[in-house]
Amino acid sequence: MTDPHPTSAFHAPNTDPAITDRLVTALDVQAANPGVRRLREWAHARLAARPGERALDVGSGTGSETQVLAAAVGPDGAATGLEPHPGLRAVAGQRAAGAGSAARFVGGDALALPLPDAELDVVWCERVLQHLNDPAGAVAEMARVLRPGGRVALLDTDWATFVLHPVAPELRPALATVTQATAATPDAGRRLTGWLTAAGLSVDHVGADVLLHDPGTVSWPIVRGLATGAVARNLITEDQRDGLYADLTAAAEQGAFHLSVTMYAAIAHRPR
């Protein structure tokens, strides 16, 4: 079957090492962003993993948040990152070992967690649901493996909040179309609380922050990805793409480039 979301690099594991390097770089850039750091800190504080607890990081990427969970649960607990991408899993394992973290990493799929019912105290799932065709099914899986009283943190982007400036008015519909196509479920951010409630969980906290880019630098990986996608779909011409690049470059030189997207977080627990 043809992948309905071929533009999403995170949608399916790709073992090409060049792809792994590109994904790791993208995740590291995001991890350094102040908005991402603030929302992670906010969510960890409310999830409040404690010494001795069993934690799972679903779609753990480079494993940075699995390491945070491992530090919180300590030597009497266990923190595992579940990551289907073999390249990312290897990088996460190397980084954890290098940092002296007890975080461990396993393969698997958010839609079929390799755990019995009511096994875990805490689950973390950050910017993964947007890449799934059945995010509600994945949240139901998280609810299944949580013990009564166990907690979950979901963090995700909502691509309808994506803002790029300056963009000529006639190019905006094309870029909006391509932006929506970068994820299987681009409106994940606004749907977190609904999925949690549908899975029988009780929502305790909701929060948001914005991933805001430097106004003096064009965010070329994102801009090129969108513009290339728009040209490939015949939504804009190559001349229009080049005009967009020129406008964004000129804006960045004036400190007037803008790229932002809102991320949402929800913390919930399984009722006893």
Contact positions vs ligand SAM (CB under 6 A)? 10, 27, 58-61, 83-85, 88, 109-111, 126-128, 131-132
Q: Answer yes or no: are the C-beta atoms of 230 and 236 closer than 8 Å.
A: yes
Q: Which amino acid is located at 266 in the chain? A: A
Q: Which is nearer to ligand SAM, 58 or 244 (CB)?
A: 58
Q: Answer yes or no: are the C-beta atoms of 163 and 260 closer than 8 Å.
A: yes
Q: Which is nearer to ligand SAM, 56 or 73 (CB)?
A: 56
Q: How many CB atoms lie within 10 A of CB 124?
A: 28
Report, in Å, the least distance between residue 126 CB and ligand SAM.
4
Q: Which residues contact 138 (CB under 8 A, 6 or more apart)?
A: 58, 110, 111, 125, 128, 129, 132
Q: Which is nearer to ligand SAM, 111 or 168 (CB)?
A: 111
- How far apart are the C-alpha atoms of 206 and 39, rounded to whole Å? 11
Report, in Å, the least distance between residue 164 CB and ligand SAM.
19
Q: Which is nearer to ligand SAM, 131 or 151 (CB)?
A: 131
Q: Three-state DSSP class for 249? A: helix
Report, in Å, the least distance between residue 130 CB and ligand SAM.
8
Report, in Å, the least distance between residue 246 CB and ligand SAM.
30
Q: Which is nearer to ligand SAM, 5 or 258 (CB)?
A: 5
Q: Which is nearer to ligand SAM, 37 or 224 (CB)?
A: 37
Residue 56: strand pairing partners:
80, 123
Report, in Å, the least distance between residue 156 CB and ligand SAM.
9
Report, in Å, the least distance between residue 62 CB and ligand SAM.
6
Q: Answer yes or no: are the C-beta atoms of 246 and 167 closer than 8 Å.
A: no
Q: Answer yes or no: are the C-beta atoms of 187 and 160 closer than 8 Å.
A: yes
CB burial of 223-234 (b: ≥16 within 10 Å; e: otherwise) equals: bebbbebbbeee
Q: Which is nearer to ligand SAM, 53 or 83 (CB)?
A: 83
Q: Answer yes or no: are the C-beta atoms of 267 and 205 closer than 8 Å.
A: yes
Report, in Å, the least distance between residue 171 CB and ligand SAM.
26
CA dihedral of 6, 7, 8, 13, whole degrees rounded to 10: 50
Nearest residue (beta carbon) to ligand SAM:
61
- How far apart are the C-alpha atoms of 155 and 265, rounded to whole Å? 4
